[in-house]
Amino acid sequence: MDFKIARRGSAVIVKIIKFTIMSQKHLLLSPKNWSRIAVLWQRLQQSFRLMVGVPDYETYVQHMKAHHPDLTPMDAKTFYRHCIDARYPSAGGNMKKCPC
């Protein structure tokens, strides 16, 4: 693949996104749509976290409330530490090998 074609392709994508935003700015800047934009942003963050293997804390809390109301859910820091330890186990808390 020629690098020049790839650079042009990314420039075209940027132009398409810019054109779309500029043509829809009356919708984006409307206070009625801010909640929709906030939800979209939260969903994007959740998707990116799941792509790199980090589970969503809010989903965990909702699951705990729905299915295990008698148990107290972990706090966010403990939850993420648990997920990291489950994905990259290390004996005694020190990682001897790169998880890659």
CA distances (Å), origin 52, targets 23, 49, 77, 96:
33, 5, 17, 22
Domain extent listing, the chain: 7-51, 53-90+95-99
Highest mean pLDDT among 5-9, 32-36, 57-61, 66-70: 66-70
The greatest distance separating any two alpha carbons of the chain, rounded to the nearest whole angstrom, comes to 60
pLDDT surpasses 90 at 65: yes
Tokens of 17: 């996104």
pTM for the model stands at 0.50
Q: How confident is the model at residue 33 (pLDDT cuts 50, 70, 90)?
A: confident
